[in-house]
């Protein structure tokens, strides 16, 4: 058995590989449904119905996809430069914190306030990722571990905020912050649903990131540095500066997920604002093969799994952790599938 | 509140050794993988799977040691997956590891919920009892701190010695270290690079899972979702801290556990003056600081993260 690179890479093969990977993940998921005693067909119908079966279901899926688009873009940009930002969860919460810090006691109008909160949140997230990034570029500290560990630190910080100084006296004792002012709330797109402007912003961000990566020098540099830092340095690119830029963009995007989720869905800060959006963003980015526009599609797919699984677990006796298992399996399956678009296995 | 007073208490040292045990297993496991050139970010999920699997084995009527063996088998299964992706196919070790962490964590939560859907208060098992060895357990201080722990703690200490011996005194250890430094040379010797790496990843993953099982079978008597709580990531930091040496890894784990034990005592005595979240964050902050201090001169295994494909340079 021998592994050798393919001479040519076709788009058709890529799409086929992604399709097969998703099919593999869904069949593992079917086994789990079978274990619970239900029929997989019934389970899948319930999931599809739960995720797409009504106007409300679709709106819920789009709402769930919104933060995943941002965190998925954050992971996609960083991974392109081989900057392993696993700290999306922490950056998400920092963005949300900025929205509360600047959005609860202000007289600004919505037109000024909402952009201001997004910018401030993105800055906080980007600067926060800068710490592990500079440690990587200047002191050789592995960013995977530092970004991961900082997630725990940030979550404990948020925990302290909502149990301590930011606790809303009007919340009947629940650990949550005071809500942002009405002007900061993102407009709802569809009456009687939770679908908010954040979704449009997320899709817009995906298009911008795509243009940036494909059509600008900075974007090209990010891809080049990720591909081969030594060659990039030889070609005269400021490698460390490129990595720092990548960190600012990636951290900023992850934080915007937090701002959007806070302003669009909850309005106040709690420690369960994110059920792991930062980590799921990594799956979203990988499912999209790190393509910014693909991120939108894969965020929708992952959101469908989560919303569908919630709905299925209410109808049949199955734990909704099945959604997490399915996304984890699809991550691994896509990793393999992408391999087979670039390599083939030969006998002998 | 006197910190010096604390160090005179035997109870403090007992707590330190107990808290170090899962870290020793996890750190040694990661150390073996990285010595062979493979980073295993699956550690957090493998520990979670061992934690739940070992507990479930005992809860469903198996023996305690059976639970440990079962956890180790789960670890090996995850190790084989990581080998398939990261060693045989040469895929990104980071992504494969993170995927396995997600799989291990979510699958253990899922299985727990499926087998015990109605458990509101976590059901309990009878965990390992503290040892009462003749003579050894009755040595003053040392007897209480080391030899009156559970058998798993002694196993952890023994593993340090065994791993150090294998790595530095046997031909197998030499081959394992070489595969992490210069796989081409190993290939030239007629040894299988992929086979050695797979063996290291499986053995290491088994140890990680046993470390997870310690949490439910010895340190505590119940399982709850999210129990591993970042210990795996801390182990990865400790491996760098130890410069990939087993005895320094033991030292690192004990030091770390000592900090942890101190912060817990101080937290109890200081009361509400300082927010308790700060104390909980300290272990993570310590790990980051330790990483920063050690990383400047860290001698990473040369072939770490680099996949090996026959005939490819």
For every residue of chain A, which 3-state class applies, written as one string? CEEEECCCCCHHHHHHHHHHHHHHHHHHHHHHHHHCCCCHHHHHHHHHHHHHCCHHHHHHHHHHHHHHHHHHHHHHHHHHCCCCCCCHHHHHHHHHHHHHHHHCCCCCCHHHHHHHHHHHHHHHHHHHHHHHHHHHHHHCCCHHHHHHHHHHHHHHHHHHHHHCCCECCCCCCCCCECCCCHHHCCCECCCCCCCECHHHHHHHHHHHHHHHHHHCHHHHHHHHHHHCHHHHHHCCCCHHHHHHHHHHHHHHHHHHHHHHHHHHHHCCCCCCCCCCHHHHHHHHHHHCCCCHHHHHHHHHHHHHHHHHHHHHHHHCCCCCCHHHHHHHHHHHHHHHHHHHHHEEEECC
Render B60-97 in DSSP notation, one character per residue: TT--HHHHHHHHHHHHHHHHHHHIIIIIIS---HHHHH
Residue A70 or residue B270, greater confidence: A70
Averaged pLDDT, A121-146? 94
Q: How far is CA B92 from CA A84, A286, B60, B81, B113, in A?
A: 11, 11, 37, 13, 31
| Whether B233 and A325 lie within 8 Å, measured CB to CB | no
> Which of A318, A325, A345 should one mutate to test binding to chain B, selecting the residue with the greatest count of B CBs within 10 A?
A325
Q: Is the Cβ–Cβ distance between B78 and B205 less than 8 Å?
A: yes
pLDDT band at residue B285 using 50, 70 and 90 as cut-offs: very high
Tell me what pLDDT residue B34 has: 97
Q: Under 8 Å CB-to-CB from B61, ≥6 apart: which residues? A: none
What residues of chain A lie within 8 A of the CB of B113, using their CB?
319, 321
Integer Cα distance of B200 and B37 in angstroms: 9
Q: Is the Cβ–Cβ distance between A224 and A232 less than 8 Å?
A: yes
Q: Is residue B313 part of a domain?
A: no
pLDDT band at residue B45 using 50, 70 and 90 as cut-offs: very high
- A67 CA to centre of own chain: 6
Q: Could you report the per-residue pLDDT of A241-260, keeping only the tens digit for each?
A: 999 999 999 999 999 999 99
Integer Cα distance of B130 and A205 in angstroms: 57
Residue B235 or residue A320, greater confidence: B235
Integer Cα distance of B107 and B169 in angstroms: 39
Q: Measure B237 CA to nearest chain A CA, in Å.
A: 7
Q: Under 8 Å CB-to-CB from B71, ≥6 apart: which residues? A: B49, B50, B51, B53, B54, B57, B209, B210, B212, B213
Beta-carbon count within 10 A of A310 CB? 17
Residue whose C-alpha is closest to residue B211's, from B42, B71, B95: B71
> Which of B38, B88, B92, B99 should one mutate to test binding to chain A, selecting the residue with the greatest count of A CBs within 10 A?
B99
- Using the CB atoms, write b or e for A136-149: b if 16+ within 10 Å: bbeeebbbbbbbbb
What residues of chain A lie within 8 A of the CB of B89, using their CB?
3, 336, 339, 343
Integer Cα distance of B269 and A27 in angstroms: 53
> Which of B103, B231, B263 should one mutate to test binding to chain A, selecting the residue with the greatest count of A CBs within 10 A?
B103
Residue A205 or residue B144, greater confidence: A205
Task: State how many domains chain B has.
Answer: 1
Nearest beta carbon to residue A335 from set B99, B114, B275 = B99
The structure's pTM equals: 0.94
Tell me what pLDDT residue A294 has: 95
Q: Is residue B92 part of a domain?
A: yes
- Output DSSP code: residue B51: H
Q: Is the Cβ–Cβ distance between A253 and A212 less than 8 Å?
A: no
| Whether A36 and B114 lie within 8 Å, measured CB to CB | yes
Two structure tokens written together for A41: 């067909």
Tell me what pLDDT residue B312 has: 65
- Cβ-count burial of B240 within 10 angstroms (0-12 exposed, 13-18 middle, 19+ buried)? buried
Nearest beta carbon to residue B292 from set A135, A152, A335 = A135
Integer Cα distance of A272 and A269 in angstroms: 8
Integer Cα distance of A172 and A244 in angstroms: 44
Q: Could you report the per-residue pLDDT of A279-302, keeping only the tens digit for each?
A: 999 999 999 999 999 999 999 999
Q: What is the largest CA-CA distance in chain A?
A: 73
The rounded mean pLDDT for chain B is: 91
The number of C-alpha atoms within 13 Å of B180 and in the hemisphere containing its C-beta is 25
What residues of chain B lie within 8 A of the CB of A343, using their CB?
89
Nearest beta carbon to residue B99 from set A35, A148, A331 = A331
Beta-carbon count within 10 A of A289 CB? 17
Bridging pattern class, strands A2-5 and A343-346: antiparallel
What residues of chain B lie within 8 A of the CB of A175, using their CB?
none
| Whether A36 and B295 lie within 8 Å, measured CB to CB | no
- Output DSSP code: residue B245: -
- Whether B297 has a pLDDT exceeding 80, the answer reads no
Q: Could you report the per-residue pLDDT of A39-59, keeping only the tens digit for each?
A: 999 999 999 999 999 999 999
Integer Cα distance of B209 and B22 in angstroms: 9
Beta bridge partners, A177, equal A167
- Cβ-count burial of A225 within 10 angstroms (0-12 exposed, 13-18 middle, 19+ buried)? buried
| Whether A141 and B292 lie within 8 Å, measured CB to CB | yes
Q: Under 8 Å CB-to-CB from A241, ≥6 apart: which residues? A: none
- Whether B185 has a pLDDT exceeding 80, the answer reads yes
Q: Is residue B307 part of a domain?
A: no
Q: What percent of chain B has pLDDT over 70?
A: 97
Q: Could you report the per-residue pLDDT of B129-148, keeping only the tens digit for each?
A: 888 888 888 888 888 888 88
Q: Is residue B121 part of a domain?
A: no
- Whether B311 has a pLDDT exceeding 70, the answer reads no
Residue B247 host element (H or E) = helix B246-270
Tell me what pLDDT residue A200 has: 97
What residues of chain B lie within 8 A of the CB of A146, using their CB?
288, 291
Q: Is the Cβ–Cβ distance between A66 and A274 less than 8 Å?
A: no
> Which of A17, A87, A141, A344 should one mutate to test binding to chain B, selecting the residue with the greatest count of B CBs within 10 A?
A141
Residue whose C-alpha is closest to residue A25's, from A340, A279, A328, A338: A328
What residues of chain B lie within 8 A of the CB of A129, using their CB?
none
Integer Cα distance of B173 and B178 in angstroms: 8
| Structural domain span for residue B186 | 3-116+129-294
- The number of residues making up chain A comes to 348
| Whether B291 and A160 lie within 8 Å, measured CB to CB | no
| Whether B295 and A140 lie within 8 Å, measured CB to CB | yes
CA A324, A329, A335, A341 dihedral sign is: negative
- The number of residues making up chain B comes to 313
Q: Is the Cβ–Cβ distance between B196 and B186 less than 8 Å?
A: yes
For residue A332, what is the nearest residue in chain B, using CA coordinates?
B99
For residue A147, what is the nearest residue in chain B, using CA coordinates?
B288
| Whether A328 and B230 lie within 8 Å, measured CB to CB | no
pLDDT band at residue B24 using 50, 70 and 90 as cut-offs: very high
Q: Could you report the per-residue pLDDT of A74-132, keeping only the tens digit for each?
A: 999 999 999 999 999 999 999 999 999 999 988 889 899 999 999 999 999 999 999 99
| Whether A2 and B311 lie within 8 Å, measured CB to CB | yes
Residue whose C-alpha is closest to residue A136's, from A246, A217, A52: A246
What residues of chain B lie within 8 A of the CB of A324, using their CB?
102, 105-106, 109-110
Give the CATH number for residue B136: 1.10.3470
| Count of A-B CB contacts under 8 Å | 125
The rounded mean pLDDT for chain A is: 93
Nearest beta carbon to residue B233 from set A145, A339, A343 = A145
| Whether A328 and B103 lie within 8 Å, measured CB to CB | yes
| Whether A157 and B281 lie within 8 Å, measured CB to CB | yes
Beta-carbon count within 10 A of A170 CB? 9
For residue A160, what is the nearest residue in chain B, using CA coordinates?
B277
> Which of B26, B49, B231, B288 should one mutate to test binding to chain A, selecting the residue with the greatest count of A CBs within 10 A?
B288
Q: How far is CA A280 from CA A70, A86, A89, A274, B70, in A?
A: 11, 10, 9, 10, 29
């Amino acid at each position: 058995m021998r592994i050798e690179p393919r001479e040519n890479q076709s788009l058709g093969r890529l799409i086929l590989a992604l399709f097969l990977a998703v099919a593999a993940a869904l069949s593992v998921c079917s086994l789990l449904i079978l274990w619970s005693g239900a029929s997989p067909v019934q389970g899948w119908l319930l999931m599809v119905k739960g995720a797409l079966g009504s106007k409300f279901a679709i709106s819920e899926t789009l709402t769930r996809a919104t933060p995943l688009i941002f965190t998925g873009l954050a992971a996609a940009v960083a991974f392109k430069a081989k900057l392993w930002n696993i700290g999306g969860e922490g950056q998400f919460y920092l963005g949300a914190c900025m929205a509360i810090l600047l959005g609860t006691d202000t007289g600004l109008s919505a037109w000024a306030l909402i952009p201001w909160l997004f910018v401030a949140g993105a800055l906080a997230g980007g600067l926060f990722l800068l710490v592990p990034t500079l440690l990587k570029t200047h002191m050789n500290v592995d960013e995977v571990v530092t970004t991961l560990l900082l997630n725990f630190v940030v979550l404990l910080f948020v925990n302290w905020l909502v149990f301590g100084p930011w606790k809303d006296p009007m919340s009947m004792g629940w650990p949550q912050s005071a809500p942002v002012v009405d002007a900061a709330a993102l407009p709802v797109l569809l009456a009687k649903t939770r679908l908010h402007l954040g979704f449009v912003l997320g899709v817009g961000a995906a298009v911008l990131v795509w243009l940036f990566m494909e059509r600008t020098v900075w974007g090209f540099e990010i891809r080049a540095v990720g591909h081969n830092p030594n060659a990039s340095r030889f070609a005269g690119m400021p490698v460390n500066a490129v990595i720092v830029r990548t960190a600012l963009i990636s951290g900023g995007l992850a934080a915007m997920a937090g701002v959007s989720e806070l302003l669009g869905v909850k309005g106040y800060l709690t420690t369960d604002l994110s059920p792991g959006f930062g980590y799921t963003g990594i799956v979203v980015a990988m499912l999209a093969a790190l393509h910014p526009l693909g991120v939108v599609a894969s965020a929708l797919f992952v959101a469908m799994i989560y919303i569908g699984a919630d709905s299925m677990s209410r109808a049949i006796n199955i734990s909704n952790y099945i959604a997490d298992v399915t996304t984890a399996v699809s991550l691994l399956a896509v990793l393999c599938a992408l391999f087979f678009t670039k390599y083939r296995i030969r006998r002998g | 509140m006197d910190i010096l007073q604390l160090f005179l208490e035997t109870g403090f040292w007992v707590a330190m050794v107990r808290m170090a045990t899962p870290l020793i297993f996890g750190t040694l496991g990661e150390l073996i993988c990285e010595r062979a050139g493979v980073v295993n970010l699956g550690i957090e999920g493998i520990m979670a799977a061992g934690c739940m699997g070992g507990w479930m084995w005992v809860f469903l009527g198996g023996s305690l040691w059976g639970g440990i063996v079962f956890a180790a088998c789960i670890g090996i299964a995850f190790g084989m997956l990581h080998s398939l992706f990261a060693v045989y196919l040469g895929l990104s070790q980071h992504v494969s590891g993170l995927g396995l962490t997600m799989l291990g964590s979510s699958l253990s939560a899922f299985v727990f919920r499926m087998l015990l859907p109605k458990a509101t208060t976590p059901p309990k098992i009878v965990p390992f009892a503290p040892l009462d060895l003749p003579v050894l357990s009755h040595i003053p201080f040392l007897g209480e701190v080391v030899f009156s722990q559970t058998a798993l703690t002694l196993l952890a200490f023994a593993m340090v010695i065994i791993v150090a011996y294998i790595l530095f005194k046997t031909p197998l250890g030499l081959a394992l270290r070489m595969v992490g430094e210069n796989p081409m040379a190993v290939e030239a010797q007629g040894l299988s690079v992929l086979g050695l790496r797979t063996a290291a990843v499986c053995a290491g993953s088994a140890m990680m899972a046993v470390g997870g099982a310690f949490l439910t079978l010895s340190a505590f008597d119940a399982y709850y979702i999210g129990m591993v709580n970042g210990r795996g990531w801390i182990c990865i930091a400790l491996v760098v801290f130890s410069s990939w040496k087993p005895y320094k890894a033991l030292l690192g784990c004990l030091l770390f556990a000592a900090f942890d034990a101190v912060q817990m005592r101080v937290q109890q005595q200081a009361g509400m003056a300082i927010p308790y979240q700060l104390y909980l964050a300290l272990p993570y902050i310590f790990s980051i600081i330790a990483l920063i201090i050690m990383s400047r001169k860290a001698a990473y295994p040369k072939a770490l993260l680099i996949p090996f494909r026959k005939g490819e340079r």
